[in-house]
Amino acid sequence: MRTLYGTVLLVAAVLFLAVSRLLRNAQTCACEQTYMYSSYTEVPVLHPRWAKHRYKLRLYRETSFSKQALPPTGLPALLVPGNAGSYEQVRSLASETSRLAAQARRAGGAGSNIADMDWYALDLNGELSAFDGHLLAEQAAFALACLKQLRAMYSIADNSSSCSSQGQAQQRLSPLPYNLRPQPLSLASSSGNCGAAAAVVPAVVLAGHSMGGVVARAAATAAWTHPELGPGSLALLLVLASPQQYPPLLLQPGLARFYSGAPAQPLPPGLPAVSVHGGSADLQVSPYLTRLPRSALRLPSSSSSSSSSSNSVAAVLSLASLHVPGVWLSAGHNQVDWCNQLVRRLSAALLEVHALQQQRLQQQLGEVQEQQRGRALLRQQQQFVIQQLLQKELRATGRRLATLSFAWQPGLCWGSNDTCATPRVQAAPATPPLKPSQRSSRHTSI
């Protein structure tokens, strides 16, 4: 009897595993592929530490659209691959965002001003970062250097410069090839003032998959307090199937030290953060690990005012792909970044963030343009006043010189404290003419 019960339990367990495996495979196959025409170009990192490093920064180009062959003209986005990941993981999101942006431009007509998203990806040589905290720290430092590189590429340094600042910016980016130099002034083409784009710095969308999400979060926390980046340097933090709580497999003390460092710090205030996990189909990272820990949320203090409290709370959203409208399915750990149903929804959301940022940039362009006009008007008024004063001074100097030219005599000194090189000459008094009687008497005496 016991043998029968054991056999039944064994058969039931095998059937259960087989059925669950079939269901999981059927659910996995529900993800559609994303098709693209991808090309990658290496972007040299100008920082001396990373110039000849094994890590590289690559720019994705969608060759199916002719506009993509031009230099980058959109807003920057950066993807950090995960454990044993490749920079080619960026192609799904980059291709869908380019396709949706092109469709929006065609639907908007000739007056549509929707810029593309320029996607960059880190080439980390497929390192096994899930087992080494030192590699995670080094990748976070490289991601921070790439953020500074993108800020230097997409901004103009001098806020008060005029049209010549464009040449200065291109000169500052001279180590980059021409096809890699972004054109930040394309956003200000409608304003007609090239100097108005001087103060505009677009924020970067930072994304990460798996352990790359942990690296991206550490880089975002460091960028928020960095003197060259600061608040406003990031537009969104997107992590896909990323273990934010703690590593799935803790094999090294360095991993614990890394997780207790930058990832344990509160998220920067005002930075939207979205964490997406694949659900039950993800057998490597459980959904619980993808949630941001409580220590990462900056909770408002009771003593602060309501306005400051509302600004100090980070906007965080954690959801499963099964609950996303239009997706309704779970995705495996490696399928989250290419599942077309999910990628389309994420691309649409990224374009919404992109549109809001573009509106903010246009508003900043208008404000800077007004400041440029005000400064130009003030400069004209100052020049007019200076010209009037110079003309008045010249007229007064001319009258003074004319007066001195009539009153001046050689050898005379002007002023009581002046000394002259030539001695003073006293003129002899004029003698009156002699009378005839005086002339005769003088002649007689002689």
Tens-digit pLDDT profile for residues 80-96: 999 999 999 999 999 99
CATH code for position 354: 3.40.50.1820
Indicate the pLDDT class of residue 342, thresholds 50, 70 and 90. Answer: very high
pLDDT in tens, 399-441: 777 676 555 555 555 444 545 544 444 555 555 655 555 555 4
| Amino acid at the residue 24 | R
In a domain, 211, yes or no: yes
**Which pLDDT value is given to residue 182?**
53
Give the DSSP letter string of 170-232. HHHTTTS-GGG---GGGGGTTT--GGGGGG----EEEEEETHHHHHHHHHHHHHHT-TTS-TT
- Spatial distance between the Cα atoms of 55 and 74, rounded to a whole number of angstroms: 24
Tokens of 70: 């031009």
What is the average pLDDT across 339-354?
A: 89
- Spatial distance between the Cα atoms of 19 and 271, rounded to a whole number of angstroms: 43
**CA-based nearest residue to 198, from 243, 169, 159, 142:** 159
Determine contact, residues 59/118, Cβ cutoff 8 Å: yes
Determine contact, residues 249/131, Cβ cutoff 8 Å: yes
In a domain, 424, yes or no: no
In a domain, 40, yes or no: yes
Determine contact, residues 57/45, Cβ cutoff 8 Å: yes
Determine contact, residues 178/41, Cβ cutoff 8 Å: no
Torsions phi, psi of 42, nearest 5? Answer: -75, 130
In a domain, 59, yes or no: yes
In a domain, 71, yes or no: yes
Residues 6+ apart with CB under 8 A from 210: 81, 82, 83, 85, 130, 240, 241, 242, 243, 284, 285, 333
For residue 56, the cross-strand partners are 123
Angle between helices 91-108 and 340-407 (to 10 degrees): 70
Indicate the pLDDT class of residue 224, thresholds 50, 70 and 90. Answer: confident
- Spatial distance between the Cα atoms of 158 and 200, rounded to a whole number of angstroms: 10
pLDDT for 63 beyond 70: yes
What is the distance, to the nearest Å, from the Cα of residue 365 to the centroid of all Cα atoms in its chain? 15
What is the average pLDDT across 392-396?
A: 80
- Spatial distance between the Cα atoms of 156 and 201, rounded to a whole number of angstroms: 8
- Spatial distance between the Cα atoms of 331 and 334, rounded to a whole number of angstroms: 8
Q: Collapse the DSSP code of 278 into the 3-class scheme (helix H, G, I; strand E, B; otherwise coil) and give the result.
A: coil
pLDDT in tens, 4-53: 767 777 777 777 777 666 555 544 458 888 888 888 988 888 877 787 78
Tokens of 333: 């750990």
Is the pTM for the entire model greater than 0.95? Answer: no
If one compares 282 and 66, the residue with the highest pLDDT of the two is 282
- Spatial distance between the Cα atoms of 410 and 78, rounded to a whole number of angstroms: 82
Tokens of 29: 């196959």
pLDDT in tens, 164-215: 434 443 333 434 444 454 544 344 333 444 443 444 567 899 999 999 999 9
- 375-384 long-range CB contacts below 8 Å, 24 or more apart? 375/160
Q: How far is CA 441 from CA 355, 434, 436, 445, in A?
A: 120, 11, 9, 6
Which residue range is the domain that position 290 belongs to? 22-295+314-372
pLDDT for 362 beyond 80: no
Which helix H or strand E contains 174, and what residues bound it? Answer: none
- Spatial distance between the Cα atoms of 152 and 271, rounded to a whole number of angstroms: 21
**Which pLDDT value is given to residue 38?**
86
**Which pLDDT value is given to residue 398?**
73
Tell me the residue ranges of DSSP E strands in 270-406: 273-277, 316-320
In a domain, 407, yes or no: no
In a domain, 197, yes or no: yes
Nearest-10 Cα torsion for 387, 392, 395, 401 = -110
- 107-113 long-range CB contacts below 8 Å, 24 or more apart? 113/190, 113/358
Indicate the pLDDT class of residue 70, thresholds 50, 70 and 90. Answer: low
The total number of structural domains in the chain stands at 1
In a domain, 396, yes or no: no
pLDDT in tens, 246-271: 898 888 888 988 988 876 777 877 78
